[in-house]
């Protein structure tokens, strides 16, 4: 790359092909549908610049600042945005391949529309994993799931014309509701596999719930039970189901409910599978 500097205040590109040049004084310039190859914008400020539907190949933008720039449909190939700052930029339908970019900065510039946001996050996750950045990949996964939740929420509320036309009717609304419930349960039980610390919390809540259910079933068939008897029975069931979940021996032998036993055993094996899968993925990327 040579040291040639091009003053962008004096030229407008419609479209343009720039190769091996340094971009300077970029404010309100248009590169729409252009092709920028081996360009440098290190420590430069880009304000109100239109990069829409352009292709930027091997761009070097270390410590650059982008403010209110339009990257709609822009394709970035082997670019370096290390320590770059993005403010109020539009990355709708953008594509990244082999690029280094600050995770927090790009997350602050996600498109507002949930479906477009989700597509961008899928691309960013793939790009991060191709660069070996597992931490950023997980951050994009979590943001992608949050975007999917928002998409399903809007589809259920149908307070926008787009969602009314696409998800109107009982059958489609029922499908959206089932997806929302499934996504909520997946998040509650083990954080979509990305937050394994939720697993023991959800296990404790479920075991407490099934113990309370078993105690309630016992209460329905008891004659003149005392509060002490109910508390003691609940404690006995809790110890029993925790031991069943952990496959540990116990001296407690309350009245059995086969269906609840099956639920606890199935939950044990599912939890073990999720835990092993999560630990394997974590250890494989250390």
> What's the first-to-final CA gap in the chain, in angstroms?
36
Where do the structural domains in the chain lie, given as residue ranges? 5-190, 196-284
Map tokens 């790359």 to a residue. Answer: 1
Spatial separation of the C-alpha atoms in residues 86 and 109, rounded to whole Å: 7
pLDDT at 133: 85
> Which pTM does this prediction carry?
0.69
- 79-94 pLDDT tens trace: 999 999 999 999 999 9
Candidates 170, 142, 146, 147; CA nearest to 158 is 170
**Which pLDDT band, with edges at 50, 70 and 90, does 189 fall under?**
confident
Candidates 83, 34, 42, 71; CA nearest to 59 is 42
Residue 9 has pLDDT above 60, yes or no: no
């Amino acid at each position: 790359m040579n040291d040639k500097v091009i003053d962008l205040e004096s030229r407008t590109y419609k479209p343009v092909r720039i190769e091996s040049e340094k971009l300077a004084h970029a404010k309100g310039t248009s590169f729409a549908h252009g092709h920028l190859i081996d360009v440098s914008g290190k420590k430069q400020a880009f304000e109100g610049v239109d990069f829409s539907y352009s292709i930027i190949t091997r761009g070097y933008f270390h410590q650059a600042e982008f403010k209110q720039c339009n990257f709609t449909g822009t394709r970035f190939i082997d670019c370096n945005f290390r320590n770059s700052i993005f403010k109020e930029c539009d990355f709708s339908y953008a594509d990244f391949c082999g690029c280094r970019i600050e995770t927090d900065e790009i997350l602050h510039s996600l498109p507002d529309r949930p479906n477009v946001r989700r597509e961008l996050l899928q691309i960013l996750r793939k790009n991060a994993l191709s660069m070996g950045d597992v931490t950023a990949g997980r951050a994009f996964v979590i943001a992608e799931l949050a975007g999917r939740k928002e998409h399903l929420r809007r589809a259920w509320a149908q307070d926008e014309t787009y969602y009314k036309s696409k998800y109107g009717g009982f059958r489609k609304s029922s499908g959206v509701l089932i997806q929302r419930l499934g996504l909520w349960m997946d998040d509650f039980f083990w954080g979509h596999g990305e937050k394994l610390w939720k697993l023991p919390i959800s296990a404790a809540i479920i075991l407490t719930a099934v113990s309370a259910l078993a105690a309630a079933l016992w209460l329905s068939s008891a004659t003149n039970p005392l509060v002490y008897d109910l508390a003691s029975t609940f404690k006995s069931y809790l110890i029993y189901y925790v031991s069943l979940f952990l496959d540990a021996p116990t001296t407690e032998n309350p009245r059995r409910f086969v269906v609840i036993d099956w639920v606890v055993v199935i939950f044990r094996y599912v939890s073990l599978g999720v835990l092993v899968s999560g630990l394997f993925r974590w250890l494989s990327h250390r």
